């Protein structure tokens, strides 16, 4: 991810670093059933990436798993490249177009409803940003999923607590977040979003839990791994210099 950012500084590095462990658990933990050879495989679980601006960290994973050639991640954002700064449905492995926030959960509700009405066993996962929760359309979907007991739906909030211009608590404080979802008939719980083992264990259980839609609030740090970003209220818009990227890579516990 950091290497991509060095080549494509337009990418949102801090947002993409907060959800790395979530993506690793979903893909390498094989919580998601996916098929790079057949992107429309009816047996696949559907993964809707609603905070699409902040998942450039997904590119190396998809390349590694064979969704597209690894050479593509060296060309992100370049003229004529296959991979844009914000992935969309033309990117192999993505189901929908997002980027504008607040759309993913509603579309995921429609997919979950369709699968339930057709008695299909595949699950629907959605990745949402916490700042995205300010969009009213998210709450239309929250109400809908709870009312219709869409228990084949698992939403994960990358709760990195920073919007574009400030910490979320200074804009509109949404805490206690879990209680808001519980009030709308969701099962909601919190987890350390950087503890990949815990995230894996909980998601693999939640996938098959029944009765209610499920919300995993993953407490994360925006810009995780890059100290200068981790405490910065403006981390969303920061662009790291090649030197800062090199320094951050050196500091990673590999």
Q: Which residues form the interface with another protein (CB under 8 A)? A: 88-90, 95-100, 102-103, 105-115, 117-118, 136-137, 140-141, 143-144, 148
Return the closest-CA partner of residue 57 out of 251, 154, 193.
193
- CA atoms of 214 and 209, how far apart (whole Å): 8
Q: Name the residue nearer to another protein (CB basis): 44 or 198.
A: 44
Provide the 10 A C-beta neighbour count for residue 3: 13
**What's the closest the beta carbon of residue 12 comes to another protein, in angstroms?**
18
**What's the closest the beta carbon of residue 2 comes to another protein, in angstroms?**
29
Tokens of 195: 């503890």
**What's the closest the beta carbon of residue 60 comes to another protein, in angstroms?**
22
Collapsing DSSP to helix, strand or coil, 9 comes out as coil
Q: Name the residue nearer to another protein (CB basis): 96 or 159.
A: 96
- CA atoms of 84 and 93, how far apart (whole Å): 14
**What's the closest the beta carbon of residue 176 comes to another protein, in angstroms?**
24
**What's the closest the beta carbon of residue 94 comes to another protein, in angstroms?**
9
CB 125, CB 96: distance < 8 Å: no
Q: Name the residue nearer to another protein (CB basis): 65 or 97.
A: 97
Tokens of 140: 């239309």
Q: Name the residue nearer to another protein (CB basis): 5 or 123.
A: 123
Phi then psi dihedrals of residue 89, to 5 deg: -70, -10
- CA atoms of 53 and 32, how far apart (whole Å): 21
Q: Name the residue nearer to another protein (CB basis): 148 or 238.
A: 148
């Amino acid at each position: 991810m950091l290497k991509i950012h060095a080549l494509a500084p337009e990418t949102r590095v801090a947002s993409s670093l907060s959800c790395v462990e979530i993506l690793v658990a979903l893909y390498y933990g094989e919580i998601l059933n996916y098929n790079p050879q057949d992107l429309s495989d009816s047996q696949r679980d559907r993964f809707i990436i609603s905070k699409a601006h902040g998942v450039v960290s997904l590119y190396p994973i998809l390349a590694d798993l064979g969704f597209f050639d690894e050479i593509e991640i060296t060309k992100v954002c370049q003229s004529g490249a296959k991979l844009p700064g914000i992935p969309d449905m033309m990117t192999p492995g993505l189901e929908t177009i997002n980027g504008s926030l607040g759309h993913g959960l509603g579309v995921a509700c429609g997919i979950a409803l369709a699968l339930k009405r057709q008695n299909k066993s595949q699950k629907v996962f959605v990745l949402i940003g916490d700042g995205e929760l300010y969009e009213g359309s998210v709450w239309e979907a929250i109400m809908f999923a709870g009312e219709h007991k869409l228990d084949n739906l698992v939403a994960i909030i990358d709760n990195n607590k920073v919007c574009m211009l400030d910490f979320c608590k200074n804009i509109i404080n949404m805490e206690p977040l879990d209680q808001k979802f519980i009030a709308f008939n969701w099962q909601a719980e919190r987890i350390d979003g950087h503890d990949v083992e815990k995230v894996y264990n909980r998601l693999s259980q939640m996938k098959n839990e029944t009765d209610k839609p499920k919300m995993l609030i993953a407490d994360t740090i925006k810009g995780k791994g890059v100290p200068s970003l981790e405490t910065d209220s403006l981390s969303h818009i920061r662009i790291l210099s090649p030197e800062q990227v090199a320094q951050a890579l050196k500091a990673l516990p590999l």
